[in-house]
Homo-oligomer: A and B are copies of this chain.
Amino acid sequence: MAAAMTAIRLYDLQVRDDRRPSPFCWRIKYALAHKGLPFDTVPIGLTDIPAIEGGAHKTVPIIDDGGKTVSDSWAIADHLDKAYPDRPPLFASPAERELCRFVEASLFVSAGRSLLMGYVKDIHDHAHERDRAYFRQTREKLLGSTLEELASGRAERLDAARAGFDSVRLTLKGGAPFLAGANPGYADYIVAGLLLWVGSIATAPFLKADDPLLVWLGRVQDLYGGLGRTSPLNAIAA
């Protein structure tokens, strides 16, 4: 970059103990690090979102890049590739971007709902006190059940969610260190973000100790000076 760079500001969901659970914020933290762009995170609670940057955004991540505000993880990723073309691309080709959308869609379908239902009570319990009523109300409506009812059937839900990552396990069996191949890419950040979300709040470990996903996840956590270890995590594996 020709000009001296101002750090990009990332509004990052925060829960108790300064944990940062949002899988969508995780992928943007990795995206910023991938491009070598300096950034500061601004921790916010769920109910703080309407007060940020004029209240135009309903979800995190939100970034402020030198006065320009962008929300939605895909819009942010596109903004970063467009605004910083001399930095390593997140998407080396349009097809890579679309296939990363397939990765997101695929895990959403195979694991998303069972993962959310299995851990929604833990997410609630880790939220800031001021966010809990809002969280309970919106999530119980979304899932059609009380958080306590959902928690009672969680063993089967977590079995289903664990199997929902078989596509990732089978891909990694090919021997490449990352889902994007020899080097890490946005697909890795999408999937790692899901597991860091779970690790941030899970009171029951998600993966088995011999799960091959753990080797890959450790590799992603080590990237960029250990970015994936900068927020308190519970045990991801038992």
Contact = CB atoms under 8 A, between A and B. Distances in A.
Given A166-B109, A167-B110, A179 B96 contact: no
Nearest to A165: B109
Contacts of A171: 98, 101-102, 105-106
A75 B33 CA distance: 34
Say whether chain A's binding surface is mostly helix, strand, loop, or mixed: helix
A8 interface: no
A106 B170 CA distance: 8
B180 A99 contact: yes
Interface size class of A (residues with CB under 8 A): 20 to 34
> How many copies of the polypeptide does the oligomer hold?
2
A108 interface: yes
Contacts of A178: 98
A103 B99 contact: yes
Contacts of A144: none
29 contacts: A92-B93, A93-B95, A93-B96, A94-B181, A95-B180, A95-B181, A95-B185, A95-B187, A96-B96, A98-B174, A98-B176, A98-B180, A98-B181, A98-B187, A99-B100, A99-B102, A102-B102, A102-B103, A102-B171, A102-B187, A105-B170, A105-B171, A106-B106, A106-B167, A108-B170, A109-B110, A109-B167, A109-B170, A110-B110
Given A92-B93, A96-B99, A109-B170, 19 more contacts: A92-B95, A94-B180, A94-B181, A95-B180, A95-B185, A98-B174, A98-B176, A98-B179, A99-B99, A99-B103, A99-B179, A99-B187, A101-B171, A102-B103, A105-B167, A106-B106, A106-B110, A109-B166, A109-B167
